[in-house]
Structure 1
């Protein structure tokens, strides 16, 4: 059974599930690779630090990828146990407890881009009788469009249960003002197939090219490069409570309007 059919996200990811999720090395690898791909789809300027939003950040696995690339990020998640694990793991991003279906609580134009891994599909399910998936998707995309700077992108990886969910999600994103579409990596593979919703805020743009089994070498090089970046950046990471660390935290707060 899919998690979305079992319990509400806030209930499914309890303390036990949150720790299980973060201790599964195979799951962590897949999540990290999808976060890396989502970041790639944002097409951010090279060698520049951007201010990014991680929607459904969980225990901060995707956020670690953003930190490795020297981006500043904010993570939002509906599960307090997941955020507790993220804090224990000492992730660099600012963490916020919130339900994306109620709208994103950020100032207009705050972020240079947004990513999400394995979270968007939860909005297609009514966790309570009073919830309406269409309205929740509408609130989410309206608020996402508002909090992104013009010309920026969002790359949202998700697991639709059936094609009608993809159509519903696309429809609500377009109503909110986005352009873009769906990028399907490895469409011929049952296990490797991954679906990303790539959205643009600055008018119509060409969708990124999907990955296929015809270019596996390119992917191996791409992901191997990540470890080199991580090792290089680890030596530059400011010590906690140092002057540089405090200044970075102040930058976080200013961008959030605090």
Structure 2
């Protein structure tokens, strides 16, 4: 059976008919609720927060974010802003009068918010759509890079994001994870019910300081045994644990910072950071 993202782009696949079918399905409502609650538990928010819902659709996750939690449960109700590429999905959300603010936007073109706007972010069943190129001028790598760079910039320092997605294979898992790491996140992949048809993959992301070094097991509950990836690689271009100014590592980091600010930088090559010979 073909996956939806292999059939049409999301803004075309989720037309008026599909959007209403998706929203009114009791099975989808149950699964969406379970995954949203799982994402919230991984965020570990202790106070009401401003959350970005990427691929918010018709607001199924947003309705949970707006709920007052059970007595004794920390956090919430949260304020949220949702972005989605499907105008039909957002129309259903408007009809339902969800409490969050809504924006029509393509996550593959970035996250259009001021730096440090959000305390946290969630994305349920949306990131896998970015792994497909919609035209010859696009690429999955480019779409993922723009998304994660924009998401990183939009979160406050110390913020977290949890992206639940359905990867086709290990290569796609790696592609998504590496795009997040390159953007600067501390990242870990967590899989619930692995090896079953009910398997759910969660990419847990943190925006931390230098002391974090990408290892999120100590700061995110329930991440024991997770596949953790380091955002910082020790090696060439380092001196006493610090980057040497002008080294390839220093240049690459500066270029990534410029890209996150929306500046145009030259493409990387095997010559990036290479010392020039002295000319006589």
TM-score normalised according to structure 2 size: 0.72
Tell me the residue number matched to 1:199.
205
1:50/1:71 contact within 8 Å kept: yes
Tell me the residue number matched to 1:133.
140
1:184/1:196 contact within 8 Å kept: yes
Tell me the residue number matched to 1:173.
180
C-alpha distance in structure 1 between counterparts of 2:223 and 2:57, whole Å: 26
Superposed displacement of residue 209, structure 1: 2.6
1:185/1:210 contact within 8 Å kept: no
TM-score normalised according to structure 1 size: 0.78
1:183/1:209 contact within 8 Å kept: no
CA displacement, residues 62-82 of structure 1 (integer Å, 9 cap, x when unaligned): 001100131000000000000
Larger Rg computed on CA atoms: 2
Q: Where do 1:80-119 residues align within 5 Å?
A: 80-119=87-126
Quick check: 1:209 aligned with 2:222? Answer: yes
RMSD over aligned CA atoms reads 1.2
Tell me the residue number matched to 2:192.
185
Structure 1: state its 5+ residue gaps.
212-258
Tell me the residue number matched to 1:231.
none
Tell me the residue number matched to 2:55.
56
CA displacement, residues 148-185 of structure 1 (integer Å, 9 cap, x when unaligned): 00001000000001110110011111110001210111
Superposed displacement of residue 210, structure 1: 5.8
SS of the residue 1:139 aligns to? helix
Q: Where do 1:1-258 residues align within 5 Å?
A: 1-45=2-46, 48-68=47-67, 69-188=76-195, 190-202=196-208, 203=212, 204=214, 205-206=216-217, 208-209=221-222
2:81/2:100 contact within 8 Å kept: yes
Structure 2: state its 5+ residue gaps.
68-75, 225-280
2:44/2:221 contact within 8 Å kept: no
C-alpha distance in structure 1 between counterparts of 2:135 and 2:111, whole Å: 20
Greater helix content:
1
